Amino acid sequence: MPEITYRQAIHDAMVEEMRRDGRVFLIGEDIGTYGGAFGVSAGMLEEFGPGRIVETPISEEAIIGAAAGAAMVGMRPIAEMMFMDFILLTMEPLVNQAAKARYMFGGKATVPMVVRMPGGSGTGAAAQHSQSLETILMHIPGIKVVAPSTSYDAKGLLISSIRDLNPICFVEHKLLYKSKGEVPEEEYAIPLGVADVKREGRDLTLVASGIMVHKSLDAAQIVAEEDGISVEVVDPRTLRPLDVDTIAKSVKKTGRLLVVHEAVKTAGWAGEVMASVSETPSWDYLDAPMRRLTGKDVPIPYNRHLEAAAVPQVDDIVREVRAIVNTQY
Protein backbone atom coordinates (compact mmCIF):
# COMPACT_ATOMS: atom_id res chain seq x y z
CA MET A 1 0.00 0.00 0.00
CA PRO A 2 1.27 3.48 -0.78
CA GLU A 3 2.10 5.80 2.12
CA ILE A 4 0.52 9.21 2.04
CA THR A 5 0.30 12.06 4.50
CA TYR A 6 -2.69 12.70 6.75
CA ARG A 7 -3.16 15.97 4.83
CA GLN A 8 -3.17 14.13 1.51
CA ALA A 9 -5.61 11.55 2.84
CA ILE A 10 -8.11 14.26 3.80
CA HIS A 11 -7.56 16.00 0.49
CA ASP A 12 -8.09 12.76 -1.43
CA ALA A 13 -11.29 11.94 0.45
CA MET A 14 -12.75 15.33 -0.45
CA VAL A 15 -11.66 15.12 -4.08
CA GLU A 16 -12.98 11.60 -4.56
CA GLU A 17 -16.33 12.43 -2.97
CA MET A 18 -16.66 15.61 -5.03
CA ARG A 19 -15.99 13.62 -8.20
CA ARG A 20 -18.54 11.01 -7.15
CA ASP A 21 -21.31 13.32 -5.97
CA GLY A 22 -22.11 16.70 -7.55
CA ARG A 23 -23.85 17.83 -4.37
CA VAL A 24 -20.61 17.85 -2.39
CA PHE A 25 -18.79 21.17 -2.22
CA LEU A 26 -16.18 22.86 -0.05
CA ILE A 27 -16.81 26.20 1.63
CA GLY A 28 -14.41 28.20 3.78
CA GLU A 29 -11.76 30.86 4.07
CA ASP A 30 -8.69 30.90 1.79
CA ILE A 31 -9.44 27.42 0.45
CA GLY A 32 -8.89 28.36 -3.21
CA THR A 33 -5.63 29.72 -4.58
CA TYR A 34 -4.07 29.66 -1.12
CA GLY A 35 -5.10 26.03 -0.72
CA GLY A 36 -6.35 26.41 2.83
CA ALA A 37 -4.36 27.58 5.85
CA PHE A 38 -2.86 24.09 6.19
CA GLY A 39 -2.77 23.32 2.47
CA VAL A 40 -5.42 20.62 2.61
CA SER A 41 -7.41 21.91 -0.37
CA ALA A 42 -4.38 22.74 -2.55
CA GLY A 43 -5.22 22.19 -6.21
CA MET A 44 -8.94 21.70 -5.68
CA LEU A 45 -9.88 25.08 -7.14
CA GLU A 46 -8.16 24.09 -10.38
CA GLU A 47 -10.16 20.89 -10.65
CA PHE A 48 -13.56 21.99 -9.41
CA GLY A 49 -13.64 25.75 -10.00
CA PRO A 50 -15.03 28.52 -7.82
CA GLY A 51 -18.57 27.13 -8.11
CA ARG A 52 -17.68 24.20 -5.83
CA ILE A 53 -14.67 25.55 -3.99
CA VAL A 54 -16.56 28.39 -2.38
CA GLU A 55 -14.19 30.95 -0.88
CA THR A 56 -15.86 33.09 1.72
CA PRO A 57 -15.32 36.34 3.53
CA ILE A 58 -14.04 36.00 7.11
CA SER A 59 -17.50 35.29 8.47
CA GLU A 60 -17.39 32.05 10.41
CA GLU A 61 -20.95 32.20 11.69
CA ALA A 62 -22.25 32.79 8.17
CA ILE A 63 -20.07 29.97 6.77
CA ILE A 64 -21.59 27.39 9.11
CA GLY A 65 -25.05 28.92 8.71
CA ALA A 66 -24.68 28.74 4.94
CA ALA A 67 -23.50 25.14 5.12
CA ALA A 68 -26.49 24.22 7.27
CA GLY A 69 -28.93 26.03 4.99
CA ALA A 70 -27.49 24.40 1.87
CA ALA A 71 -27.54 20.98 3.55
CA MET A 72 -31.20 21.36 4.51
CA VAL A 73 -32.17 21.77 0.87
CA GLY A 74 -30.18 18.92 -0.60
CA MET A 75 -26.50 19.86 -0.89
CA ARG A 76 -23.59 18.09 0.88
CA PRO A 77 -21.34 20.89 2.12
CA ILE A 78 -17.93 20.42 3.67
CA ALA A 79 -17.11 23.56 5.64
CA GLU A 80 -13.53 24.26 6.61
CA MET A 81 -12.85 26.16 9.80
CA MET A 82 -9.33 27.54 9.56
CA PHE A 83 -8.75 26.67 13.22
CA MET A 84 -10.92 24.67 15.57
CA ASP A 85 -10.94 27.65 17.94
CA PHE A 86 -13.06 29.57 15.43
CA ILE A 87 -15.88 27.07 15.82
CA LEU A 88 -16.81 29.06 18.90
CA LEU A 89 -17.99 31.84 16.58
CA THR A 90 -20.36 29.37 14.96
CA MET A 91 -22.05 27.75 17.94
CA GLU A 92 -25.38 29.33 17.04
CA PRO A 93 -25.84 27.87 13.54
CA LEU A 94 -24.09 24.65 14.51
CA VAL A 95 -25.83 23.94 17.81
CA ASN A 96 -29.15 25.76 17.55
CA GLN A 97 -29.80 25.19 13.86
CA ALA A 98 -27.89 22.29 12.28
CA ALA A 99 -27.94 19.97 15.29
CA LYS A 100 -31.59 20.52 16.11
CA ALA A 101 -33.45 20.86 12.82
CA ARG A 102 -34.13 17.16 12.47
CA TYR A 103 -35.51 16.63 15.94
CA MET A 104 -37.29 19.95 16.24
CA PHE A 105 -39.12 19.36 12.95
CA GLY A 106 -40.27 15.87 13.93
CA GLY A 107 -37.74 13.93 11.84
CA LYS A 108 -38.58 15.71 8.61
CA ALA A 109 -35.30 17.51 7.97
CA THR A 110 -31.80 16.23 7.33
CA VAL A 111 -28.66 18.32 7.61
CA PRO A 112 -25.85 16.39 5.91
CA MET A 113 -22.81 18.59 6.48
CA VAL A 114 -19.21 18.15 7.57
CA VAL A 115 -17.26 20.79 9.44
CA ARG A 116 -13.54 20.13 9.23
CA MET A 117 -11.41 21.80 11.84
CA PRO A 118 -7.72 21.62 12.77
CA GLY A 119 -7.32 21.47 16.52
CA GLY A 120 -4.59 20.97 19.06
CA SER A 121 -1.39 22.60 20.27
CA GLY A 122 2.27 22.30 19.39
CA THR A 123 2.69 25.03 16.82
CA GLY A 124 3.37 27.98 19.11
CA ALA A 125 0.11 29.58 18.10
CA ALA A 126 -0.90 30.20 21.73
CA ALA A 127 -4.27 30.33 23.42
CA GLN A 128 -6.66 31.18 20.58
CA HIS A 129 -5.28 28.86 17.88
CA SER A 130 -4.42 25.69 19.82
CA GLN A 131 -7.47 24.43 21.62
CA SER A 132 -8.97 20.97 21.71
CA LEU A 133 -12.68 21.66 21.99
CA GLU A 134 -14.08 18.21 21.17
CA THR A 135 -16.00 17.93 24.41
CA ILE A 136 -18.05 21.04 23.73
CA LEU A 137 -19.16 19.50 20.45
CA MET A 138 -19.72 16.03 21.95
CA HIS A 139 -22.17 17.52 24.40
CA ILE A 140 -24.70 18.33 21.67
CA PRO A 141 -27.27 15.68 20.64
CA GLY A 142 -27.55 15.75 16.86
CA ILE A 143 -23.85 16.26 16.20
CA LYS A 144 -21.32 13.50 15.57
CA VAL A 145 -17.67 14.10 16.43
CA VAL A 146 -14.92 12.35 14.50
CA ALA A 147 -11.19 12.61 15.33
CA PRO A 148 -8.86 10.51 13.18
CA SER A 149 -5.27 9.75 14.16
CA THR A 150 -3.85 8.18 10.99
CA SER A 151 -3.94 8.75 7.24
CA TYR A 152 -5.95 5.56 6.79
CA ASP A 153 -8.55 6.56 9.36
CA ALA A 154 -8.68 10.16 8.17
CA LYS A 155 -9.60 9.20 4.62
CA GLY A 156 -12.01 6.41 5.47
CA LEU A 157 -13.75 8.38 8.19
CA LEU A 158 -14.04 11.55 6.11
CA ILE A 159 -15.66 9.61 3.29
CA SER A 160 -18.20 8.18 5.74
CA SER A 161 -18.73 11.62 7.25
CA ILE A 162 -19.47 13.19 3.86
CA ARG A 163 -21.96 10.40 3.10
CA ASP A 164 -23.61 10.64 6.53
CA LEU A 165 -26.91 12.50 6.81
CA ASN A 166 -26.03 14.37 10.02
CA PRO A 167 -23.88 17.36 10.97
CA ILE A 168 -20.36 16.02 11.56
CA CYS A 169 -17.54 17.80 13.34
CA PHE A 170 -14.35 16.36 11.86
CA VAL A 171 -11.41 17.19 14.10
CA GLU A 172 -8.00 17.12 12.46
CA HIS A 173 -4.86 17.48 14.58
CA LYS A 174 -2.60 20.05 12.97
CA LEU A 175 0.60 18.27 14.03
CA LEU A 176 -0.55 15.17 12.16
CA TYR A 177 -0.89 16.77 8.72
CA LYS A 178 2.68 15.76 7.81
CA SER A 179 2.48 12.28 9.34
CA LYS A 180 2.45 9.40 6.88
CA GLY A 181 0.55 6.18 6.81
CA GLU A 182 -0.56 3.43 4.47
CA VAL A 183 -3.75 4.05 2.53
CA PRO A 184 -5.11 1.62 -0.05
CA GLU A 185 -5.57 2.84 -3.58
CA GLU A 186 -9.03 1.33 -3.88
CA GLU A 187 -12.10 3.03 -2.44
CA TYR A 188 -12.97 2.28 1.18
CA ALA A 189 -14.93 3.81 4.02
CA ILE A 190 -14.68 3.38 7.79
CA PRO A 191 -18.02 3.32 9.62
CA LEU A 192 -18.53 6.03 12.22
CA GLY A 193 -18.80 4.92 15.82
CA VAL A 194 -16.33 2.04 15.61
CA ALA A 195 -13.14 2.15 17.68
CA ASP A 196 -9.87 0.65 16.52
CA VAL A 197 -7.37 -1.23 18.65
CA LYS A 198 -4.09 0.31 17.56
CA ARG A 199 -1.93 -2.00 19.68
CA GLU A 200 -2.98 -5.12 21.52
CA GLY A 201 -1.97 -5.66 25.13
CA ARG A 202 -2.83 -7.45 28.36
CA ASP A 203 -2.00 -5.21 31.32
CA LEU A 204 -3.68 -1.86 30.73
CA THR A 205 -6.17 -0.29 28.33
CA LEU A 206 -5.07 3.11 27.11
CA VAL A 207 -7.79 5.10 25.33
CA ALA A 208 -6.50 8.03 23.28
CA SER A 209 -7.39 9.90 20.12
CA GLY A 210 -5.74 12.19 17.59
CA ILE A 211 -2.09 12.90 18.23
CA MET A 212 -2.30 11.24 21.65
CA VAL A 213 -2.64 7.89 19.88
CA HIS A 214 0.88 8.31 18.53
CA LYS A 215 2.28 9.46 21.85
CA SER A 216 0.53 6.57 23.57
CA LEU A 217 1.94 4.06 21.08
CA ASP A 218 5.43 5.43 21.73
CA ALA A 219 4.85 5.16 25.48
CA ALA A 220 3.50 1.62 25.09
CA GLN A 221 6.67 0.61 23.25
CA ILE A 222 8.87 2.08 26.00
CA VAL A 223 7.06 0.33 28.87
CA ALA A 224 7.03 -2.92 26.89
CA GLU A 225 10.78 -2.77 26.40
CA GLU A 226 11.79 -1.35 29.76
CA ASP A 227 9.17 -2.76 32.13
CA GLY A 228 7.57 -5.65 30.32
CA ILE A 229 4.19 -3.91 30.64
CA SER A 230 1.76 -4.79 27.87
CA VAL A 231 -0.47 -1.83 26.96
CA GLU A 232 -3.50 -2.05 24.70
CA VAL A 233 -4.08 1.24 22.84
CA VAL A 234 -7.68 1.86 21.80
CA ASP A 235 -8.49 4.76 19.47
CA PRO A 236 -12.23 5.56 19.56
CA ARG A 237 -11.85 7.38 16.19
CA THR A 238 -15.38 8.67 16.64
CA LEU A 239 -15.92 10.46 19.96
CA ARG A 240 -19.66 10.70 19.50
CA PRO A 241 -21.12 8.17 19.10
CA LEU A 242 -18.53 6.55 21.35
CA ASP A 243 -17.78 2.85 20.91
CA VAL A 244 -18.09 1.93 24.58
CA ASP A 245 -18.32 -1.79 23.78
CA THR A 246 -14.83 -2.02 22.34
CA ILE A 247 -13.36 -0.03 25.24
CA ALA A 248 -15.26 -2.03 27.87
CA LYS A 249 -14.22 -5.28 26.27
CA SER A 250 -10.60 -4.22 26.42
CA VAL A 251 -10.90 -3.17 30.06
CA LYS A 252 -12.42 -6.51 30.92
CA LYS A 253 -9.32 -8.13 29.49
CA THR A 254 -6.68 -5.83 31.00
CA GLY A 255 -8.33 -4.78 34.27
CA ARG A 256 -6.88 -1.27 34.06
CA LEU A 257 -7.88 1.94 32.23
CA LEU A 258 -6.00 5.11 31.42
CA VAL A 259 -7.58 7.77 29.20
CA VAL A 260 -5.27 10.29 27.56
CA HIS A 261 -6.38 13.43 25.77
CA GLU A 262 -4.96 16.80 24.93
CA ALA A 263 -8.12 18.69 25.90
CA VAL A 264 -8.25 20.13 29.39
CA LYS A 265 -9.22 17.87 32.24
CA THR A 266 -12.35 19.43 33.70
CA ALA A 267 -15.42 18.06 31.94
CA GLY A 268 -13.16 16.55 29.28
CA TRP A 269 -14.18 13.40 27.45
CA ALA A 270 -11.93 11.19 29.56
CA GLY A 271 -14.57 11.56 32.24
CA GLU A 272 -17.20 10.35 29.78
CA VAL A 273 -15.14 7.27 28.89
CA MET A 274 -14.54 6.40 32.53
CA ALA A 275 -18.19 6.91 33.47
CA SER A 276 -19.32 4.80 30.52
CA VAL A 277 -16.96 1.95 31.47
CA SER A 278 -18.09 2.11 35.08
CA GLU A 279 -21.65 1.51 33.90
CA THR A 280 -20.68 -1.78 32.23
CA PRO A 281 -19.90 -5.17 33.77
CA SER A 282 -16.23 -4.42 33.00
CA TRP A 283 -16.20 -2.29 36.14
CA ASP A 284 -16.12 -5.52 38.10
CA TYR A 285 -12.90 -6.56 36.36
CA LEU A 286 -10.95 -3.43 37.30
CA ASP A 287 -7.80 -4.10 39.33
CA ALA A 288 -6.97 -0.43 39.80
CA PRO A 289 -8.75 2.93 39.87
CA MET A 290 -9.38 4.32 36.40
CA ARG A 291 -7.13 7.27 35.65
CA ARG A 292 -6.97 10.12 33.16
CA LEU A 293 -4.02 12.04 31.85
CA THR A 294 -5.10 15.20 30.09
CA GLY A 295 -4.18 18.72 29.18
CA LYS A 296 -3.79 20.92 32.23
CA ASP A 297 -6.65 23.27 33.07
CA VAL A 298 -4.98 26.26 31.42
CA PRO A 299 -5.20 28.12 28.11
CA ILE A 300 -2.39 26.94 25.81
CA PRO A 301 0.68 29.12 26.45
CA TYR A 302 3.04 30.49 23.80
CA ASN A 303 6.50 29.58 25.14
CA ARG A 304 7.54 26.19 23.75
CA HIS A 305 8.43 24.68 27.11
CA LEU A 306 5.24 25.92 28.72
CA GLU A 307 3.24 24.75 25.72
CA ALA A 308 4.71 21.24 25.93
CA ALA A 309 4.10 21.18 29.67
CA ALA A 310 0.42 22.04 29.22
CA VAL A 311 -0.45 18.79 27.42
CA PRO A 312 0.54 15.12 27.94
CA GLN A 313 3.89 14.05 26.48
CA VAL A 314 5.29 10.55 25.99
CA ASP A 315 7.21 10.67 29.28
CA ASP A 316 4.08 11.67 31.15
CA ILE A 317 2.19 8.75 29.68
CA VAL A 318 5.01 6.32 30.53
CA ARG A 319 5.04 7.58 34.11
CA GLU A 320 1.27 7.29 34.43
CA VAL A 321 1.17 3.76 32.99
CA ARG A 322 3.89 2.62 35.39
CA ALA A 323 2.13 4.21 38.34
CA ILE A 324 -1.14 2.45 37.59
CA VAL A 325 0.37 -0.95 36.86
CA ASN A 326 2.87 -0.95 39.70
CA THR A 327 0.63 0.27 42.49
CA GLN A 328 -0.87 -2.45 44.66
CA TYR A 329 -4.53 -1.93 45.47
Partner 1 sequence: MSNNHLMEFDNEKTTDVLEKSKQLGLLEKDLVEMYRTMISIRLFEEMADKLYALGKVHGTMHLSAGQEGVAVGTGKVMGAEDYLLNHHRGHGHFIASGADIKKMMAEFLGKETGYCKGRGGSMHIADVEANNLGANGIVGGGIQLAAGVGLAIKMMGEERVVLVIFGDGAANQGILYESFNMAAIWDLPVVYLCENNQYGMSADVTRVSSKVPFKERATAHGIPGYYIDGNDVLAVYETMANAVEHARSRKGPVFVEAQTYRYFGHSKSDRNLYRTRDEIEEWKHRDPIERFQKLLVDANIITEEDIEKIYQEMSQLIDEAVEFAENSPEPDVSEVTEWVYA
Instruction: Give the shortest CB-113-to-partner 1 separation in angstroms.
Output: 9
* Separation CA 141–CA 39 (nearest Å): 31
Amino acid at 304: R
Contacts of 234 (CB under 8 A, 6+ apart): 195, 196, 197, 198, 205, 206, 207, 208, 246, 247, 250
Q: Which is nearer to partner 1, 167 or 268 (CB)?
A: 167
* Separation CA 326–CA 232 (nearest Å): 16
> Would you say 268 and 261 are in contact if contact means Cβ atoms under 8 Å apart?
yes
Instruction: Give the shortest CB-99-to-partner 1 separation in angstroms.
Output: 9
Q: Which is nearer to partner 1, 104 or 298 (CB)?
A: 104
> Would you say 263 and 295 are in contact if contact means Cβ atoms under 8 Å apart?
yes
Q: Which is nearer to partner 1, 121 or 166 (CB)?
A: 166
Instruction: Give the shortest CB-92-to-partner 1 separation in angstroms.
Output: 6
Coil, strand, or helix at residue 250? Answer: helix
> Would you say 147 and 134 are in contact if contact means Cβ atoms under 8 Å apart?
yes
Is-catalytic flag, 173?
no
Q: Which residues bind partner 1 (CB under 8 A)?
A: 25, 51-52, 54, 56-57, 59, 61-62, 64-75, 77, 92-93, 96-97, 101-112, 141-142, 144, 164-166
* Separation CA 297–CA 311 (nearest Å): 10
Q: Which is nearer to partner 1, 157 or 293 (CB)?
A: 157
Q: How far is CA 304 from CA 131, 307, 308, in A?
A: 15, 5, 6
DSSP per residue, 52-69: TEEE--S-HHHHHHHHHH
* Separation CA 149–CA 171 (nearest Å): 10
| Sign of the Cα pseudo-torsion (318, 321, 326, 327, in order) | positive
User: Which candidate in 11, 129, 173, 261 is catalytic?
Assistant: 129
Instruction: Give the shortest CB-141-to-partner 1 separation in angstroms.
Output: 5
Instruction: Give the shortest CB-310-to-partner 1 separation in angstroms.
Output: 32
Q: Which is nearer to partner 1, 8 or 97 (CB)?
A: 97
Instruction: Give the shortest CB-159-to-partner 1 separation in angstroms.
Output: 17
Q: Which is nearer to partner 1, 139 or 252 (CB)?
A: 139
Which positions are annotated as active-site residues? 129
